Amino acid sequence: MKELVEYIAAALVDQPGEVDVRESENDAAVLIELRVAKVDLGKVIGKQGRTARAIRSLLSAAAAEDNKRVRLEIVD
């Protein structure tokens, strides 16, 4: 799932080299932290959070195959 977030975020931002994704996993949940350049933060979040919500929906669908829960945090 980390690779999926990296791919999507790099396609959205102007500075794809600044995309940093960290994944930590426990028993039934996966936490993914996404960091991008300050100028690209708005592109990842989108108007009224629509882009971030769409990324979270894709992650939920991908995690459903593994019977896991996934949480995406966009860190400034």
Domain that holds residue 55: 2-75
5 with 19: CB under 8 angstroms?
A: no
* Structure-derived torsion over alpha carbons of residues 63, 49, 33, 5, reported in degrees to the nearest 10: 50
Report the distance separating Cα 24 and Cα 66, nearest Å: 15
CATH number at residue 33: 3.30.300.20
Total-model pTM = 0.89
- Give the number of domains in the chain: 1
* Residue 19: closest CA among 31, 37, 3: 37
Q: What is the pLDDT of residues 10-69, one digit of tens each?
A: 999 999 999 999 999 988 789 999 999 999 999 999 999 999 999 999 999 998 888 889
